Amino acid sequence: MTAAVSLLTYSTKPRGGVVHTLALAEELVRHGLGVDVIALGDPDKGFFRSVAAPVRLIPAPAPRDTLEERVAASVDALADGLRRLDGDLPAVLHVQDCISARAALRLRDEGAAVCVVRTVHHVDDFTTPELVECQIRSIVDPDVVLVVSRMWQERLAAEFGVTATIVGNGVDCTRFSCRPSPTELEARRAEVGAVGRFLVLSVGGIEPRKGSDHLVRSMSLLRSRLDPPPVLAVMGGHSFQDHRAYRDAVLASLPGLGLELGRDVVLLGTVDDRDVPGWYHAADAFAFPSVNEGFGLAVLEALATGTPTVVADLPVFREYLEYERDVLVVAPGDDEALADRLHLIATDASARRKLAESGQRVAARHTWAESARRHLDVYRSIGVSI
């Protein structure tokens, strides 16, 4: 099937925007739309998982020392790859990030007959002039702008003067609600030393936006209240930005908090995509104390598995979660409150059951099928034949 829309993303690694791109592409294919995915990556390795949609990979540039250099080199590489594909590109390029947006806009501004649709998942807190300008142009210059929440719709209007359409995220409830066997769950818990211990899962690696320093301090407080002590497993960690200094500082703080890396805090890194649902099911609680989120795909995944969840009170979460019914909530950075909420999950079976049931109902309302239908409406509005 000839592509009517190409979905562009900057990476083949399992970050939120990339996960969104692949799930959306697959659902659009199921709806009968001709789509493909174009990304920067290693053509010999492909994406972090198999993709049920056509894929075209453009070789990523060699590593660079600074974030500014990495962004510029990636924009150049993706733009060059798109130029080589110019005779084989659809009329709509739907970009998912700053890098793919700048590359597609460069092609359009050079005269290519393409409409650039941009989904803004969140706005990064860049500080250098080059990155600030790159982000502004990637939001202001596209022909059509989408966002995943009302909060970002309002922020783009207030801060950039951009009118954006809300098209939300989804989750594959069938995949995430399928509970592994007791043997498999026990094996996962044993892998992180959590047999007989309360296991807290977090997703996103050790980085500032995920509130990782706050999370480990809370685990230290929780450790003094549970016997045997709890375990924190952190899944993921691939990032285009360099968070090594922050990561090193968080890990260096563990001994002073009475925590040991590998015993009380276990870094899972990037796990095989087939194993991701199993880790949610193996956990007793999911903690997501982020300070900035576009939507929180990982929250939907946790809710779909029925894992009791604690989030930081961010405006985006208020849009689709009822606090104290669907999830427990804490003020961003409140270590004592996060420890209290995790302790409640650990000690109150009734609370666990109610959170699991309500969370699964929330997840069931957010499907990729519905997200795809809303995208199809947007594509129709700009002339794509569905």
The mean pLDDT value for 135-156 works out to 96
| Tens-digit pLDDT profile for residues 79-109 | 999 999 988 999 999 999 999 999 999 999 9
pTM above 0.75, yes or no: yes
Element (H, E) at 199: strand 199-203
What is 224-286 written as a DSSP string?
TTSSSPPEEEEE----SS--HHHHHHHHHHTGGGT--BTTTEEEEES--GGGHHHHHHH-SEE
Considering the chain, what is the average pLDDT of its residues? 95
Domains recognised in the chain with CATH numbers = 5-170+367-381 (3.40.50.2000), 173-364 (3.40.50.2000)
- Identify whether the C-beta of residue 164 lies closer than 8 Å to the C-beta of residue 361: no
Q: How confident is the model at residue 240 (pLDDT cuts 50, 70, 90)?
A: low
**Residue 32 φ/ψ region, left for φ over 0, alpha for ψ in the -120 to 50 degree band, beta for the rest:** left
Q: How confident is the model at residue 223 (pLDDT cuts 50, 70, 90)?
A: very high
Q: Which pLDDT does position 239 carry in this prediction?
A: 66
